[in-house]
Each structure stands twice: as C-alpha cells, then as structure tokens.
Amino acid sequence: MTLWLLNLTHSHIVHIVAMVKKLTLSILFFFLLSNTGFNQSTTLSSSAQINILTCGPGSSMTSRFGHTGLEVIDPELDLHEVYNFGTFNFNIPFFYVKYLRGSLKYYLGIKSYEGFLERYQEREDRTIYRQVLDLDSLQVQTIYDLLQEASLPENKYYIYDFIRWNCTTKTKDLMDRAIGSVVRYDTSFVDRNKTYRNYLNTHLSRGALTTVGVNLIFGNKTDKVPSFEQYSFLPDNYKAALDHAFIGEKPLVKRTETLHVRTAAGESFLKRSFIVWGIVLFFFFLTLWEYRRKMDFRKLDILLFSIAGLLSLVLIFMWLFSSHDPATDNPDLLWLTPLHFIFVFNLKKPRFSFYYALILGLVMVIMLGYYLFVDFQDMGVFALLLILLIRLARRGVTGFETFKP
C-alpha cells in the first residue's frame, strides 16, 4: 500500500482530486434537491387558468358563512387542483375549545377538483360558483408561484379569526400580492350603512340558537361599518367585489358559472318567528297565571338565571381569554351577568329580590330600547332578554309585596 502511494504521479493525484470534487458536488446537489424540491414551482403552460370558487353556506356551524377556494387549471399539464385556506382538522383534541379561544390552526389544503366537488357538492350540497378570471400568463404564473410558497410546511398554517384571517381574507391577501397593484374596484355597489354584524346575520337563520349564540358572543366591534378593504371578509362579499374589479378597462371576471345549486330547502322564517315569539308569549301567560294563582315557580327561575349566568361566563371567556378581536367590548354583559348566580342563591330573600329586580330590570329595559331602536341584533336575543325581564319582574313584584320598602 505504501509503495503504491509512492508510485502515484502528479497526474494521478489531480485525477483523484477531480473525482472527489465531482462526488462531493453530486452529494451536495442531491441533498439540496431533496430538501428544496417542494420549492420548485412548475412552469404552467399558456393555456393555464386561475379561477375563484365560491361556496354557499352549509348546514354546520363551521360552514355557515360559505367558503372561498382558488382553482388552478392547466390542461396541457393535466393539472386541475383547488387550493383551500379554510382547511382544519376536526378530530384534534379540544377542537371547540381551541375554536373559541382563537388558537385553532387552519391551513392551506390542496384538493383535486374532483375531490373538491365530492365534498362541497355531493356531501354538503352547497351552491358553488366559479368566477373565471381574465389574466395573462405572467399573472397566472405569479399566483401559482405564491400558492406553492404558501403551501410549504413552514407557511401553510395560520391562526383562524372570524373576521381578519379566514379562507376568504387569506385568498384575497394572496391575490392582492400577485395582482393588487394593477386591479381597481368600483366600490359604489357597497352598502355604506351595513356593519360586520349585518353581513354575518345574512348567513344565519334568524331566531335559531346558533344565531343567538353568535350575536351574543360578538361585541361592539362587529357593529362598525367595514372599510372596502375589510368588506371582503366573507365569501359572498369577495365574490361581489371581484364582479366590480377591473384591470385597466377590462373586467377582472370574464364570466361567472354556476356549478351547483343547493337542493335542500331552508327552514321558513315565519315558522321560526312563530316558535320564538310563541315561547315568549308562553312565559308571559305562564307568569301571569302563576301570579294570579299565588304560586311560586322558583325552580324555573333557578334554571333560567343559572343558564344566563353560564352564558355570561362564556362571554367573559371570549372577551378576556380568546384572541378573537370581535368578541371584545361586549355590552351584552350588562344583562347577561355573573350576578345572576348571586340572585339564584338569594331567591328566598324578598328584599334582595326586589332591589335586584329593580336595578337589573332597569338595565334590561334600557338594553331592550337599544336593541329595538339602535342596533337590533336578532329576534332570538331580543326574545331571551324579554323572557328574563318577565321573570325578573315577577320576582320583583313578589319581593315588593312581601317586603314593601
């Protein structure tokens, strides 16, 4: 071995060094390729298209406000995918707690077009619209490259927020990065009097329990009128904005296609209104009958005001311990208060019942006027407030007759 090394000529040594360099460069190239392969964006053909897919509301709470997806089509590459920023894992532990706290991670998911239709059309029966965008090849490629960048493991996850960060706002942000500098909007179609809450309520069934819950959770910030930049926080709003978008004098949307129309009929508003106000009348006449018969439905009040107290804890949790900005500054805590728990434990004390009913009853009357003349949220919220006021008045009258200050 030693003799062989001594017999190596200069040319042999140069040849060995060159081989080692090539081998090192090959290994390095392979390593870089294996670690950055997902960064290599495909070059689309000149026939590629980018479209916006808008899905109507679904039946579940998480799908109530619709969905926005980005469709990529390239027939020459046999590519047909839909990019969805609204993807989440429903099976993670404590899903609803994380959803309420604002710590639930959503991510950019990629589905085949067939897979997209299988979910949103066949399984969920949701109306689907396709807006075909009039873009040149460079703009299409720019959007596609940004989608590839956004789908990287280190970029794909984000913390969901009802208004600021959802499937629609994330889609809009990406589109603005790609073509925002050349797009202008005709904003005259926007209703300048509509608040966030007004827009949200158009997707909710008036009087339904979910609608009551949503309206109770959202605070004063949802009663503000969004700017045009903030207007596109819902899929239907973004769809409408794109219909009024232009590149130069050319409309951004070439045409709109209806891919599917929801077949399931919604519950009648008149039927729900009849149920809601029927419940209010039931409590009114029940309370009147109870008073005339000199009965005492104390257990009913324990149940009602305990529920009201629990609801107040939810509102406090959403305000103080969640990252959902719309849940802050909530005036509903003036009448849905933890003080109801103290009231429950002092129902047998007429003096306490009288003064509590007098003070909180006055607050409730003021809130009724506020909801009725300034900011009507939902008839379900209004009905709940009326029912509590009816039962509180009953307790106050009983306390007055017993205590007579």
How would you class 125 by CB atoms within 10 Å of its CB: exposed for 0-12, middle for 13-18, buried for 19 or more?
middle
Is residue 183 domain-resident? yes
Question: Does 239 lie in the same domain as 90?
Answer: yes
Q: In whole angstroms, what is the distance from residue 170 CA to residue 176 CA?
A: 10
Is residue 41 domain-resident? no
Question: Does 349 lie in the same domain as 389?
Answer: yes
| Alpha-carbon distances of 398 from 159, 297, 341, 401, 404, rounded to whole Å | 51, 12, 19, 5, 10
Question: Does 314 lie in the same domain as 290?
Answer: yes
Is residue 217 domain-resident? no
Q: In the prediction, which pLDDT does 19 show?
A: 54
Beta-bridged to residue 255, according to DSSP, are 132
Residue given tokens 């009128």 in the structure block: 225
Question: Does 253 lie in the same domain as 294?
Answer: no
Structure token pair of residue 76: 């020459």
Question: Does 243 lie in the same domain as 102?
Answer: yes
What is the DSSP code string of 226-246?
A: PPHHHHTTSHHHHHHHHHTEE
Domain count of the chain? 3
Beta-bridged to residue 256, according to DSSP, are 131
Question: Does 238 lie in the same domain as 295?
Answer: no
Question: Does 252 lie in the same domain as 299?
Answer: no
Q: In the prediction, which pLDDT does 9 show?
A: 54
DSSP-based three-state secondary structure for 337: coil
Question: Does 154 lie in the same domain as 77?
Answer: yes
Q: In whole angstroms, what is the distance from residue 313 CA to residue 338 CA?
A: 7
Q: In the prediction, which pLDDT does 402 show?
A: 78
CATH number of the domain that residue 130 is part of: 3.90.1720
Q: Which range marks the domain in which residue 395 is found? A: 269-403
Element housing 74 (H / E): strand 67-74
Q: In the prediction, which pLDDT does 64 show?
A: 85
Question: Does 273 lie in the same domain as 183?
Answer: no
How would you class 147 by CB atoms within 10 Å of its CB: exposed for 0-12, middle for 13-18, buried for 19 or more?
buried
Is residue 39 domain-resident? no
Q: Select from 148, 191, 146, 198 the least CA-distant residue to 172.
A: 146
CB atoms within 10 A of CB 374: 8
| Alpha-carbon distances of 362 from 242, 322, 334, 339, rounded to whole Å | 47, 30, 11, 15
The distance in angstroms from the start CA to the end CA of the chain is 115
Q: In the prediction, which pLDDT does 83 show?
A: 97
Is residue 218 domain-resident? no
Residue given tokens 């004390």 in the structure block: 349
Q: In whole angstroms, what is the distance from residue 401 CA to residue 186 CA?
A: 64
Question: Does 282 lie in the same domain as 378?
Answer: yes
Beta-bridged to residue 51, according to DSSP, are 71, 132
Question: Does 55 lie in the same domain as 27?
Answer: no
Is residue 43 domain-resident? no
State the Cα torsion 299-302-307-310 to the nearest 10°.
Answer: -150
How would you class 341 by CB atoms within 10 Å of its CB: exposed for 0-12, middle for 13-18, buried for 19 or more?
middle
CB atoms within 10 A of CB 235: 26
Strands (E), 171-324: 183-185, 245-247, 250-251, 253-260
Structure token pair of residue 39: 């960064």
Is residue 44 domain-resident? no
Question: Does 206 lie in the same domain as 69?
Answer: yes
Structure token pair of residue 355: 């003064």
Is residue 72 domain-resident? yes
Q: In whole angstroms, what is the distance from residue 230 CA to residue 174 CA?
A: 15
Question: pLDDT tens string for the chain (405 positions)?
Answer: 444 444 545 455 545 545 545 554 444 433 433 444 444 568 999 999 999 999 998 877 778 899 999 999 999 999 999 999 988 887 788 777 787 787 888 899 999 999 999 999 999 999 999 999 999 999 999 999 999 999 999 999 998 888 888 999 999 999 999 999 999 999 999 999 999 999 998 888 765 778 888 889 998 889 899 999 999 999 999 999 999 999 999 999 999 999 999 887 666 667 778 888 999 999 999 999 999 999 989 999 999 999 999 999 999 999 998 888 888 889 899 999 999 999 999 888 888 888 888 888 888 888 888 777 766 678 888 899 999 999 999 989 888 877 665
